């Protein structure tokens, strides 16, 4: 393991820029966005140079560390603030800074009319810094700092237009759902410390090899809870749809490409825990499968283009989580899908932003239609992302998603059939709802009012979209050519001992099955949405109704958690008001009443006081005399 | 003459002073009564000094005189000020704290 002195710049640059922009205030309004973009690009530059440096080393020396300072040193607990750049982190560093820079560029144009653009860019830079800390920390505690940092950035950016109460509530909802996950992470760290006396990845890895299965399962379950919170997985998934309240570049960067994938990173990073506990793995695949179907079903019923894409994100991360639960061989596929998803979903979100920009911030897809002619670049880039998410060869999703489905089938037995079947079904539903989005937005007759003038966005906006579209096309092939990513990640996820897992399904059969079901879903959507009513139909089947209500997740949360929670809080407030405050007020009242009586003694006449003194002295002297005599 | 007679005198003077403080209303008279009590205690101190055959009591009585002198300065100043503002030296009139 070599040391590198440049890692800190990855985090320090955006952090410094963010602080500068926030502290300078309006002075920086003119050039704040340029500085932020420049800083993000230089972080990408540092990332690329580190990537090249990694290639010039081999074996264990590929990974680099940098100790910043001794952070905590209490008794047995010694934690350094150190950074670790290994084969896994660098994938994230390049994704975060690369896609991050593109989205910075896009935001320059997208946020052009917003008077708080500088603040927006400060938050974006802060997010980049926190996310890099998350993936570069070499211990769970360092990761935790970044984990909280991205949560804060997400909160600030979802509520960026917090003068709108709905958006402010959405931000709060996201933050609280994330906090529940964070509790899981902190519990996992505590269990690690009590079990292994260490919180660094290497320390926990060393301890995990001879830890009790119960402890490993507990840690795994807590880490999964953390991942579920951050990555919007069942049962903490409800915040992601509302998180679309944030500006679209935020949805693309934080709530599609990077932050929401932190859960996948966490599980992949903790592979030594999950490899050792099959119960934890079972939990992971269960959560993954439920969420991938859940998100896909919700996605079919959304008329809000961003919410449809958010449901899709939820579902795609479900695929990744599913892959991480499939054992060592799945990690690389999870990361591969994460990277390709980073390209095509960010690209599609930017496309959605471009459409909204051209349509006066209209988000209802039923009011779009026929935009392909007027926004050709947006339509083409979105279309490429669409083909990628469907898994049409040779686009990116074909390489990553089919691998996950195939690995799921290869689990064997009933488990393999269930997981693989669910993943396959998810792919079909994905094809349906994504086709629906494309058809509603870009095809068919125009349904917008005559007042709006849809137009192609400026080059600052379509430039990043084109780059991401190229990524959507090529990344899958590049990452999987010759098992590039699998071999690259092998030292981290230790996949070797799982190689040669039984190949129960021929990859070709899986691909044909997947393509068949995708074609089915897509053509059903095309047929169904040949004509689109401008208002969502009222008399729909019970299933559509359920899907529109997000499978009753909000109603369930409201009834089971929010209402009792509110009642409990109200009870506590009442207790505080009447019992605790009451006791204090009672004491005050008693003293007041007694004082009222005693006050009469103080009549203001000097001679009364003098008499009291004399009597007092006399009594004192009398006592003295009696005692001494 | 029996030396304890000085003590009886002292007690009588002190009692007169104390009663004066309690009964009289004129601030000047009360003030004089306080001086009377101080002097009664001075007399007692000197007498005890004589009885015990050392100078402790006499020294203490000097302290008392010095303190009394200071007290006169401050006390008279307060009384004069009160009189100027209220045109009265009655201590019962100066009972603002009651309300």
CA nearest to A128, candidates A238, A225, A21: A21
Hey, is A54 helix, strand or coil? helix
If you ran DSSP here, which 8-state letter would residue A254 be given? I
If you ran DSSP here, which 8-state letter would residue A73 be given? E
Q: Give the pLDDT confidence score for residue A497 in this predicted structure.
A: 47
Q: Give the pLDDT confidence score for residue B97 in this predicted structure.
A: 65
Selected residue of B23, B29, B31, B92 to mutate for chain A interface (largest A Cβ count, 10 A): B92
Q: Among B22, B25, B95, select the one facing A604 at the smallest CB separation.
A: B95
Q: Give the pLDDT confidence score for residue A460 in this predicted structure.
A: 86
Which tokens hold the place of A201? 């990845």
Q: Is B91 on the interface with A (CB under 8 A)?
A: yes
Angle at A389 between CA A383 and CA A393, to 5 degrees: 85
pLDDT tops 70 at residue A198: yes
CA A452 to chain centre: 34
Q: Give the pLDDT confidence score for residue A622 in this predicted structure.
A: 95
Q: Is the peptide bond before A394 cis (omega within 30 degrees of 0)?
A: yes
A68-82 per-position pLDDT tens digit: 888 888 887 788 888
Q: Among B22, B95, B99, select the one facing A611 at the smallest CB separation.
A: B22
Q: Which residues contact A476 (CB under 8 A, 6 or more apart)?
A: A336, A340, A388, A394, A395, A396, A397, A398, A399, A400
φ/ψ of A2, rounded to 5, equals -90, 165
Query: A605: buried, middle or exposed (CB in 10 Å: 19+, 13-18, 0-12)?
Result: middle
Other Cβ atoms within 10 Å of A391 Cβ, number: 26
**For A236, what's the count of Cα atoms within 13 Å in the CB-facing half-sphere?**
23
Q: How far apart are CA A331 and CA A496, in angstroms?
A: 12
Contact assignment for B99 to A604 by CB distance below 8 Å = yes
Among A308-317, A464-473, A482-491, A499-508, the least confident range: A499-508
Q: How far apart are CA A523 and CA A205, in angstroms?
A: 48
Hey, is A69 helix, strand or coil? strand
Measured between beta carbons, the chain A residues lying within 8 angstroms of B95 are 603-606
pLDDT tops 80 at residue A344: yes
* Statement: the pTM of the whole predicted model exceeds 0.90: no
Measured between beta carbons, the chain A residues lying within 8 angstroms of B22 are 607, 610-611, 614
Q: Is A609 on the interface with B (CB under 8 A)?
A: no
Give B55→chain A minimum CA distance, Å. 25
Q: Among B21, B23, B95, select the one facing A605 at the smallest CB separation.
A: B95
Q: Percentage of chain B with pLDDT > 90?
A: 65
B40-62 per-position pLDDT tens digit: 999 999 999 999 999 999 999 99
Give B90→chain A minimum CA distance, Å. 10
CA nearest to A426, candidates A517, A552, A308, A340: A517
Q: Give the pLDDT confidence score for residue A504 in this predicted structure.
A: 67
Q: Among B18, B21, B98, select the one facing A604 at the smallest CB separation.
A: B98
For residues A386 and A434, is the Cβ–Cβ distance under 8 A? yes
Q: Percentage of chain B with pLDDT > 70?
A: 96
For residues A79 and A141, is the Cβ–Cβ distance under 8 A? yes
Q: Which residues contact A201 (CB under 8 A, 6 or more apart)?
A: A84, A138, A139, A140, A269
Q: Give the pLDDT confidence score for residue A7 in this predicted structure.
A: 87
Mean residue pLDDT of chain A comes to: 87
Q: Is A601 on the interface with B (CB under 8 A)?
A: no
Hey, is B64 helix, strand or coil? helix
Selected residue of B14, B21, B27, B89 to mutate for chain A interface (largest A Cβ count, 10 A): B21
For residues A341 and A401, is the Cβ–Cβ distance under 8 A? no
CA nearest to A193, candidates A68, A83, A80, A79: A79
A19-55 per-position pLDDT tens digit: 999 998 888 888 888 999 999 999 999 999 989 988 8
Beta bridge partners of residue B30, listed in sequence order: none
Contact assignment for A607 to B96 by CB distance below 8 Å = no
Residue carrying structure tokens 């870009």: A442
CA nearest to A614, candidates B17, B66, B31: B17
Q: Give the pLDDT confidence score for residue A155 in this predicted structure.
A: 92
Q: How far apart are CA A590 and CA A597, in angstroms?
A: 11
Q: Is the peptide bond before A617 cis (omega within 30 degrees of 0)?
A: no
Q: Among B25, B91, B98, select the one facing A602 at the smallest CB separation.
A: B98
Measured between beta carbons, the chain A residues lying within 8 angstroms of B90 are none
A137-185 per-position pLDDT tens digit: 999 999 999 999 999 999 999 989 888 888 998 898 889 889 989 999 9
Residue carrying structure tokens 């209220």: B86
pLDDT tops 60 at residue A496: no
A560-612 per-position pLDDT tens digit: 888 888 999 999 999 999 999 999 999 999 999 999 998 887 777 777 888 88
Query: A421: buried, middle or exposed (CB in 10 Å: 19+, 13-18, 0-12)?
Result: middle
pLDDT tops 50 at residue A498: no
Q: Is A614 on the interface with B (CB under 8 A)?
A: yes
Contact assignment for B22 to A606 by CB distance below 8 Å = no
Contact assignment for A614 to B96 by CB distance below 8 Å = no
Q: Residue B30: closest CA among chain A residues belongs to which residue?
A: A607
Pairing of strands A2-3, A77-85: unpaired
Which tokens hold the place of A322? 């599913």
Give the DSSP letter string of A264-331. Answer: HHHHHHTHHHHHH-HHHHHHHHHHHHHHHHHHHHHHHT--BHHHHHHHHHHHHHHHHHHHHTT-HHHH
Query: A194: buried, middle or exposed (CB in 10 Å: 19+, 13-18, 0-12)?
Result: exposed
Give A612→chain B minimum CA distance, Å. 10
Element (H, E) at A113: none
Prediction ipTM score: 0.80
Give A593→chain B minimum CA distance, Å. 17
Which tokens hold the place of A313? 């994100």
* Mean pLDDT in residue range A461-484: 86
Q: Give the end-to-end CA distance of chain A in Å, rounded to a whole number.
A: 91
Hey, is A453 helix, strand or coil? coil
Which tokens hold the place of B11? 């007690």
Measured between beta carbons, the chain B residues lying within 8 angstroms of A599 are none
For residues A313 and A239, is the Cβ–Cβ distance under 8 A? no
Q: Is B16 on the interface with A (CB under 8 A)?
A: no
Q: Give the pLDDT confidence score for residue A368 in this predicted structure.
A: 83
Give the Å distances, CA to CA, from A563 to A10, A159, A175, A574: 44, 24, 18, 16
CA A133 to chain centre: 15
Hey, is A213 helix, strand or coil? helix
* Mean pLDDT in residue range A269-290: 90
Measured between beta carbons, the chain B residues lying within 8 angstroms of A615 are none
Q: Residue B20: closest CA among chain A residues belongs to which residue?
A: A607
Among A41-45, A50-54, A437-441, B90-94, the least confident range: B90-94
A538-549 per-position pLDDT tens digit: 777 777 777 777
> How many H-runs (helices) and E-runs (strands) does chain A carry?
26, 3
Greatest alpha-carbon pair distance for chain B in Å reads: 54
Q: Residue A610: closest CA among chain B residues belongs to which residue?
A: B22
pLDDT tops 60 at residue A229: yes
Residue carrying structure tokens 């700092």: A145
Measured between beta carbons, the chain B residues lying within 8 angstroms of A614 are 18, 22
φ/ψ of A577, rounded to 5, equals -70, -45
Residue carrying structure tokens 């998810």: A426
pLDDT tops 80 at residue A482: no
Other Cβ atoms within 10 Å of A210 Cβ, number: 8
The total number of residues written for chain B in this structure = 99
CA nearest to A322, candidates A229, A217, A209, A421: A421
Which tokens hold the place of A181? 């996950």
Q: Which residues contact A168 (CB under 8 A, 6 or more apart)?
A: A159, A162
Give the Å distances, CA to CA, from A387 to A304, A374, A431, A489, A526: 21, 21, 9, 27, 15
A505-538 per-position pLDDT tens digit: 678 888 888 888 888 888 888 888 877 777 777 7
């Amino acid at each position: 393991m070599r040391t590198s002195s440049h890692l800190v710049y990855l985090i320090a640059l955006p952090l410094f820029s963010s602080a500068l922009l926030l502290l300078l205030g309006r002075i920086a309004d003119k050039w704040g966005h340029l500085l932020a973009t420049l800083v993000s690009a230089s972080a990408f530059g540092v990332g690329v140079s580190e990537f090249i440096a990694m290639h010039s080393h081999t074996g264990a020396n590929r990974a680099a560390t940098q100790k910043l300072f001794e952070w905590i040193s209490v008794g047995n607990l010694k934690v350094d603030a150190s950074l670790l750049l290994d084969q896994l982190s660098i994938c994230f560093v390049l994704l975060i800074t690369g896609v991050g820079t593109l989205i910075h560029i896009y935001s320059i144009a997208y946020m052009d009319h917003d008077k708080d653009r500088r603040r927006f860019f400060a938050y974006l830079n802060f997010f980049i810094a926190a996310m890099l800390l998350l993936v570069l920390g070499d211990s769970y505690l360092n990761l935790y700092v970044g984990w909280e940092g991205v949560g804060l950035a997400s909160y600030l950016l979802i509520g960026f237009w917090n003068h709108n109460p709905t958006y402010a509530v959405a931000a709060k909802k996201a933050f609280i759902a994330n906090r529940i996950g964070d509790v899981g992470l902190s519990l996992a760290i505590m269990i690690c410390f009590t079990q292994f006396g260490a919180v660094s990845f290497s320390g926990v890895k060393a301890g995990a090899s001879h830890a009790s299965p119960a402890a490993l399962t507990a840690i795994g379950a807590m880490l999964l809870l953390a991942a579920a919170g951050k990555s919007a997985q069942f049962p903490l998934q409800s915040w992601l749809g509302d998180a679309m309240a944030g500006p679209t570049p935020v949805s693309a960067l934080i709530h599609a490409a990077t932050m929401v994938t932190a859960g996948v990173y966490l599980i992949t990073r903790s592979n030594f825990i999950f490899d050792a506990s099959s119960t934890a793995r079972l939990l992971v695949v269960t959560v993954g499968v439920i969420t991938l179907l859940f998100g896909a079903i919700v996605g079919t019923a959304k008329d809000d283009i961003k919410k449809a894409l958010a449901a899709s994100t939820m579902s795609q991360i479900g695929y990744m989580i599913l892959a991480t639960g499939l054992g060592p061989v799945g990690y690389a596929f999870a990361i591969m899908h994460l990277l390709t998803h980073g390209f095509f979903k960010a690209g599609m979100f930017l496309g959605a932003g471009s459409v909204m920009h051209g349509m006066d911030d209209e988000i209802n897809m039923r009011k779009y239609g026929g935009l392909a002619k007027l926004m050709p670049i947006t339509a083409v880039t979105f279309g490429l992302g669409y083909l990628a998410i469907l898994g049409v060869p040779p686009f990116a999703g074909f390489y990553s998603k089919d691998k996950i489905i195939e690995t799921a089938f290869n689990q064997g037995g009933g488990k393999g059939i269930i997981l693989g079947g669910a993943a396959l079904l998810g792919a079909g539903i994905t094809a349906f709802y994504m086709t629906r989005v494309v058809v509603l937005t870009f095809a068919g007759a125009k349904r917008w009012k005559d007042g709006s003038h849809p137009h192609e966005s400026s080059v600052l906006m379509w430039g990043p979209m084109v780059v991401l579209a190229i990524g959507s096309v090529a990344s899958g092939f590049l990452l999987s050519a010759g098992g590039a990513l699998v071999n690259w990640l092998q030292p981290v996820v230790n996949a070797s001992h799982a190689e040669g897992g039984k190949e129960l399904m021929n990859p070709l059969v899986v691909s044909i099955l997947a393509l068949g079901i995708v074609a089915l879903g897509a053509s059903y959507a095309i047929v169904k949405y040949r004509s689109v009513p401008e208002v969502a139909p009222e008399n729909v089947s019970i299933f559509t109704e359920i899907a529109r209500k997000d499978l009753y997740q909000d109603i369930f949360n409201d009834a089971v958690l929010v209402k009792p929670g509110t009642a409990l809080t109200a009870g506590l407030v009442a207790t505080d008001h009447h019992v605790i405050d009451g006791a204090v007020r009672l004491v005050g009242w008693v003293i007041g009443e007694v004082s009222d009586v005693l006050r009469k003694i103080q009549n203001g006449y000097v001679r009364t006081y003098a008499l009291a003194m004399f009597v007092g002295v006399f009594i004192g002297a009398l006592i003295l005399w009696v005692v001494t005599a | 003459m029996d030396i304890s007679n000085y003590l009886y005198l002292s007690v009588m003077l002190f009692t007169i002073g104390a009663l004066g403080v309690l009964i009289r209303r004129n601030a000047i008279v009360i003030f004089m009564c306080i001086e009377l009590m101080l002097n009664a205690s001075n007399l007692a101190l000197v007498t005890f000094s004589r009885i015990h055959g050392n100078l402790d009591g006499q020294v203490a009585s000097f302290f008392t005189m010095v303190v009394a002198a200071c007290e006169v300065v401050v006390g008279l100043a307060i009384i004069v000020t009160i009189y100027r503002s209220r045109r009265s030296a009655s201590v019962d009139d100066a009972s603002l704290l009651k309300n």
